[in-house]
Amino acid sequence: AQSVTQPDIHITVSEGASLELRCNYSYGATPYLFWYVQSPGQGLQLLLKYFSGDTLVQGIKGFEAEFKRSQSSFNLRKPSVHWSDAAEYFCAVASNNNDMRFGAGTRLTVKP
Amino acid sequence: SQTIHQWPATLVQPVGSPLSLECTVEGTSNPNLYWYRQAAGRGLQLLFYSVGIGQISSEVPQNLSASRPQDRQFILSSKKLLLSDSGFYLCASLAGSVQFFGPGTRLTVL
């Protein structure tokens, strides 16, 4: 069965610093890969997705992620973090439309 | 683009009481719909999904049930709530192999 691991429960970065959130998955084939962001008390918003093709994908709000098949990873990056990026970030994998698995999430705190 | 509505936004219920959470979707027809639960500090757990009216698949055995009486309506129910049912319930709709989420319902069972 597929699974998703986000090794970092909580990350703190200074505003303006770069960010990388880690995501590793376990699946026999290449799944669909997603990053979502959740502000407190809100639903999840899609940041970006990878289905196939170019392994570096661009998303909204200046985020990007890189699919590395050899490492079974799909890490999320942003070159310069803004205070408004403070939120919880979820990596997800899906083998089909009705089988999406989420990581436990990484909470991002941004220091002024 | 589609819009997903959920209500109520928050709910406080006593143990043993019934539950009904509603999700409706605008801007699409015959979507796959999903109910997730998010416990505090944890990721999302898929509870139910539906590929059409009257078609419900359950992912986790529990005292919750789901129904889809209309194409764009998905309801989560319980006859008797447990303390462990507390959490944040999210409805999602599928579009182009991507799940889009509603704003969620915060349920507290006391």
Across the interface, whether the CB atoms of B44 and A90 are under 8 A apart is answered: yes
Q: Kindly indicate the confidence band of residue A6, based on its pLDDT and cuts at 50, 70 and 90.
A: very high
CA distance linking residue A14 with residue B40, whole number of Å? 26
How many domains are contained in chain B? 1
CATH code, domain carrying B88: 2.60.40.10
Question: A98 touching B, CB under 8 A?
Answer: yes
Identity of the residue in B32, B44, B101 whose CB atom sits nearest the CB atom of A97? B32
Q: Three-state SS across A40-98?
A: CCCCEEEEEEECCCCCEEECHHHCEEEEEHHHCEEEEEECCCCHHHCEEEEEEEECCCC
Q: Which domains are seen in chain A, by residue range? A: 3-111 (2.60.40.10)
Question: What is the distance in angstroms between the Cα of B103 and the nearest Cα belonging to chain A?
Answer: 4
- Domain span including residue B99: 3-109
User: What digits encode the pLDDT tens for the residues B22-56?
Assistant: 999 999 888 999 999 998 767 899 999 999 999 99
pLDDT of residue B38: 92
Q: From the candidates B25, B97, B106, B107, which should be mutated to test the interface with A, based on the most A CB atoms within 10 A?
A: B97
pLDDT of residue A97: 74
A7 upstream amide cis, omega within 30 of 0: no
User: What digits encode the pLDDT tens for the residues A33-81?
Assistant: 999 999 988 899 999 999 999 999 999 999 999 999 999 999 999 999 9
